[in-house]
Amino acid sequence: MTRIILVGAGHAHLECIKQGSHPDVNWIVINPSRYQYYSGMFSGLADGTYTLDETRVDVKALCERHGKTWIEDRVIRIDAANKQVVCQSGQILSYDIVSCNIGSRDWEIAGAPRVTIKPNYRIDQALEVFRNAVSPVIVGSGAAAVEMAASFRSAGSPVTLIHEEPLLAGHPAGPKIAKRLDQLGVKRIVDRFDTLEGQTAWLQSGQSLETDALLFLGGARASNLFQESDLYCDARGFLLVHETLQALEDPSIFAVGDCATLTAYPDTPKNGVTAVRQAPVLLTNLLRFVNQERLVTFRPQRRYLTILALGGKQATLLYGRHHQTNHLSWCLKQWIDCRFIRNYTN
């Protein structure tokens, strides 16, 4: 019997849990929380579109429905030499194949008002702290920062957004989104965040502002798992993988989503779209590896659809350089997001 351990319950692993089937495979899923929250719906949580239950998958129940073993724990090290994973609880499990879909983590910023939404099961307490804050601040210029700023503000929170120019890495939609944020009443400060000292946020220009809740959405940071495991990583600590989604030095280790960097496509965005697209390739390759068959390769899309909720049931749709902001785009986003959750809850 071949043992496949799925570390984490990200987008791609949810599909493996549901669709993975092989008479000679024992599947084990290890995740630190019973629930996996869908980050694409966090803006809907912030603006009141969704309840918490509507944005999460009960991974334990999903495993039980599809014959997978569930373990609520955190993997802190992969012992590739002995083919074992070491868990935070002290439990050690042997594997034949291990796949990682653990996402990324927030940047470490010292300071009392720091709010984090990674790992994503912290989202409930993070939203509560942010909503109750008197002077909440979001740091970032990308899609997540823009969405959350617009969504919190549309729900009545007095949001300040600290961002560098240009928004959305210079996408043509950036100026219109900036105008939309201004219309909503988001206070924008164009500067670079430097440090947080107590409840004072210092900026590169020397300017400072007081905050009792700071949410940093300035990009992905690698998990410690792979460096702690002495595996080949890129300069930022993300596991390096081939187009087959296998680690460079060990074909029995797979990784997908935010936690990995494709050597052939190092600039592939670390977002949910990539993980969803990798899911069928990962599942195919896990089963082909068991059968000792030739693996298939993953090639990222050159263009992909992104929809940013911007409050007031309006959203901006981005596809390549094309963009449009309207209610129809918001409706499309709700349909896509709700369909994703239904796929793993019904």
- The confidence score (pLDDT) of residue 273 equals 82
Best CATH choice for the domain 114-219+304-345 from the list 3.30.70.270, 3.50.50.60, 3.40.640.10, 1.10.1740.10: 3.50.50.60
Asked, colleague to colleague, whether 2-32+73-104+220-290 and 114-219+304-345 share their fold, the answer is yes
Q: Which CATH class is domain 2-32+73-104+220-290?
A: alpha beta
Residue ranges per structural domain of the chain:
2-32+73-104+220-290, 114-219+304-345
Q: In terms of C-beta distances under 8 Å and separation of at least 24 residues, what long-range contacts does 195-204 make, across chains too? A: 195/109, 196/109, 196/110, 196/111, 196/113, 196/114, 197/111, 198/111, 198/112, 199/111, 199/112, 199/113, 201/137, 201/139, 201/162, 203/162
Q: Are 214 and 114 in contact (CB under 8 A)?
A: yes
Tens-digit pLDDT profile for residues 13-37: 999 999 999 999 999 999 999 999 9
- The confidence score (pLDDT) of residue 118 equals 76
Give kind and range of the element (H or E) at residue 309. Answer: strand 305-309
Q: Which backbone phi and psi does 47 adopt, to 5 degrees?
A: -95, 5
Angle at CA of residue 81, ends 78 and 87, nearest 5°? 25
- The confidence score (pLDDT) of residue 302 equals 83
- The confidence score (pLDDT) of residue 113 equals 65
Q: Cα–Cα distance between 322 and 242 in angstroms, integer?
A: 31
Mean pLDDT, the chain, integer: 93
Q: Cα–Cα distance between 317 and 328 in angstroms, integer?
A: 9
**Which residue type sits at 77?**
R
Q: Cα–Cα distance between 83 and 29 in angstroms, integer?
A: 16
The tens-digit pLDDT sequence of the chain (346 residues) is 999 999 999 999 999 999 999 999 999 999 999 999 999 999 999 999 999 999 999 999 999 999 999 999 999 999 999 999 999 999 999 999 999 999 887 766 655 567 777 778 778 888 999 999 999 999 999 999 999 999 999 999 999 999 998 999 889 999 999 999 999 999 999 999 998 888 999 999 999 999 999 999 887 788 999 999 999 999 999 999 999 999 999 999 999 999 999 999 998 888 778 888 999 999 999 999 999 999 999 999 888 899 999 999 999 999 989 999 999 999 999 999 999 999 999 8
The bridge status of strand 208-210 relative to strand 200-203 is: antiparallel
- The confidence score (pLDDT) of residue 24 equals 95
Tokens 């702690």 identify what position? 228
Q: Are 278 and 256 in contact (CB under 8 A)?
A: yes
Q: Cα–Cα distance between 270 and 190 in angstroms, integer?
A: 24
Question: For residue 205, which of 195, 216, 220 has the smallest C-alpha distance?
Answer: 195
Question: For residue 184, which of 133, 136, 138, 150 has the smallest C-alpha distance?
Answer: 150
Q: Are 316 and 325 in contact (CB under 8 A)?
A: yes
